[in-house]
Amino acid sequence: MAVGAPGCWRANISWQLRERDRNQKQRFQAIIISYNQLLEKSDFLQHWWGKRNPYFPYVSSPSPEPETRESQQQRYREEISKLQLINGELAQEVFELNKDDRRKEVELQATQNRLAELLDRLGELEAERQELRTRVADLEQANRTVKEEYDALQLQHQEQWQQLRTRELETSELIHNLLHLKAQEAQDLNNRIEKPLRAEQRSLQKDLAIASSMPISAKTETVHQGLVVPPQEVGQKGDRSFKLRWGTRSGSFGLPDQPKFLQSFKGFFRMRSSASCSEIDFGYSSVFYISRVPVRVRHSVSAHDGEVNAVKFSPNSKFLATGGSDTKVKLWDVVGGTLQNRKTLEGSNDGVTSIDFDSSGQQLLAGSYDNSARLWSLRDCELKHTLSGHSAKVTAAKFKFYFQEVVTGSHDRMIKTWDLNKLACVKSLPVPSRCSDIVCSDYCIISGHFDKKVRLWDSRSGSQTDVIALQEKVTSLDINQDRTQLLSCSRDDLLSVMDLRMNKVRKELRSEGFKCGADWTKAIFSPDGNYAVAGSSDGTLHVWDVLTGDVKASLSGEHRSSINAVSWSQSGEYLVSVDRGRVANLWTDY
């Protein structure tokens, strides 16, 4: 009968009953057979015993001898007892089997019910599985679509990144060319300015030579103040003379009356006077040179008896200073690409942590582990002042820009401003964390701290103006020449270039091999601000392009220990790096 036809359920029930009867019959078939055999034997014995026993209803044979009959009856009774005992055991076994069968039937019914429930659940799970397969197919299709869009965007990003790189390189090249043109224009302007001066000097020398070859007459005059030139006729050949009166003495000299000579003389002194004022106002040349990326060590020297912590070029790039843990500050002349020891400044009671020159290059300031900062005069290389007042080591000591003031930062969570005229602390700023480095810009003080923050302070009011958060503790700060960008080095092996006009990080400089070796590792800008340089813990010197963020050079093999500090000369020609192994290396690009 086909499935689904009328009466199919009856056939199914009948088939199930037959199967159950067959399974149960197979279980008890052997017991039933044995039981039937025993019943047959019992019937046979009863029939046979009836024939042999006259008292038994079925016994028809004559009684045997009394003795034999009794013994046989006894034996038969024993056999019957045994058979009855066996029959009772079998009946008990049958009862137990029936009981077990009923229990099995109950379990079978529960199992069938459970099976039906599981079949229903299986149907639900199959439906859910089919739905999930449909959803997976839809998600795979959507994922393929998203991946195609991502690949297209990635390709577009690579193209735009390449275009950006090309534009940045073009911009860098244009800036380089512009700086070169500016430098050339400045040189041409200097030549044009100096050309009339040289012509006037040559004319003056010629006129002086002519004047020195002519006769001079002098006589004492009445004392007057100032410079008077009254022309007179002297001599027999129409020579002219003029009188010079200055201070308490005066003389009258016979010189040729040539206006050109007087103009040259006045112009020469006017140019000299102008040059002297320029030197007094600025202290050093304001011409910025293009920095050149170093390629090799020109000279290496063991600078100190211990770890070298600080190094700084003078503003005129003629010499540099180094400070070490041996409590000394050493001055070095740069002569022909070599470092020659010039002088040793003594007076510190502990290791030197930082070095700074004033704008004229005539004073040197150094911070120390002995909780103070010291000021030396480079005219006579004598210690002039000791600035003490911190309760922990001074990690940074800097001259304040354009002012006769000094700013110091310390691990005692204080930033102090010192007046060099009064030789006293005029302002103290409490800070939330240990100070690692300081830079000064006009009326702003910028400090780096161990709590992963760079703080900007108004030096006039002493209030905090802004905070820039970084990822790890700050080890150093440096500011470029035009005071618009700040460079920080931190313990997460990262250099950050910050725009001080917006007070946020503009560029992050990374290098695969760069590892910040200490809490006082220094990183600096190049004089033109185009590059940043820092030393790694493995003794490798890394140079980055600030505009693009690319690593321009990774110079290794010269230092055998962690580089602590670097300094780039204002001329852009030399770079000096110092390390924990007492070594100072002078780098050049040739």
CATH 2.130.10.10-classified regions of the chain? 296-588
pLDDT at 62: 47
User: In whole angstroms, what separates CA 113 from the centre of its chain?
Assistant: 67
For the segment 211-222, the average pLDDT, to the nearest whole number, is: 53
For the segment 63-71, the average pLDDT, to the nearest whole number, is: 60
pLDDT at 187: 76
Alpha carbon of 229 to those of 173, 199, 232: distances in Å?
A: 58, 24, 9
Residues 532, 525: Cα–Cα separation, whole Å: 5
pLDDT at 269: 39
Residue 204 confidence class, pLDDT cut points 50, 70, 90: confident
For the segment 383-410, the average pLDDT, to the nearest whole number, is: 90
pLDDT at 215: 59
Of 2.60.40.10, 3.40.50.300, 2.130.10.10, 3.30.70.20, which CATH number belongs to 296-588? 2.130.10.10
Residue 99 confidence class, pLDDT cut points 50, 70, 90: confident
For the segment 387-391, the average pLDDT, to the nearest whole number, is: 92
Query: Residues for the chain: how many in total?
Result: 590
Digit-coded pLDDT (tens) for 468-485: 999 999 999 999 988 899
Let me know the angle formed at the C-alpha of 96 by 91 and 97, rounded to the nearest 5 degrees.
Answer: 95
Lowest mean pLDDT among 129-143, 147-161, 227-241, 482-496: 227-241
**Which residues are CB-contacts of 386 (< 8 A; sequence separation ≥ 6)?**
347, 372, 373, 374, 375
pLDDT at 6: 53
pTM for the structure as a whole: 0.54
Which one has a higher pLDDT value, 164 or 578?
Answer: 578
Q: Where are the beta strands (DSSP E) in 249-381?
A: 249-253, 296-302, 308-313, 319-324, 329-335, 338-345, 352-357, 363-368, 372-377
Considering the chain, what is the average pLDDT of its residues? 81
pLDDT value at 3 more than 90: no
**Which is nearest to 549 in space by CA: 501, 503, 487, 490?**
487
**Residue 35 corresponds to which tokens in the numbers above?**
């039981």
pLDDT value at 451 more than 60: yes
pLDDT value at 297 more than 70: yes
Element (H, E) at 499: strand 494-499
Residue 43 confidence class, pLDDT cut points 50, 70, 90: confident
pLDDT at 288: 52
For the segment 407-424, the average pLDDT, to the nearest whole number, is: 92
For the segment 332-361, the average pLDDT, to the nearest whole number, is: 92
pLDDT at 49: 65
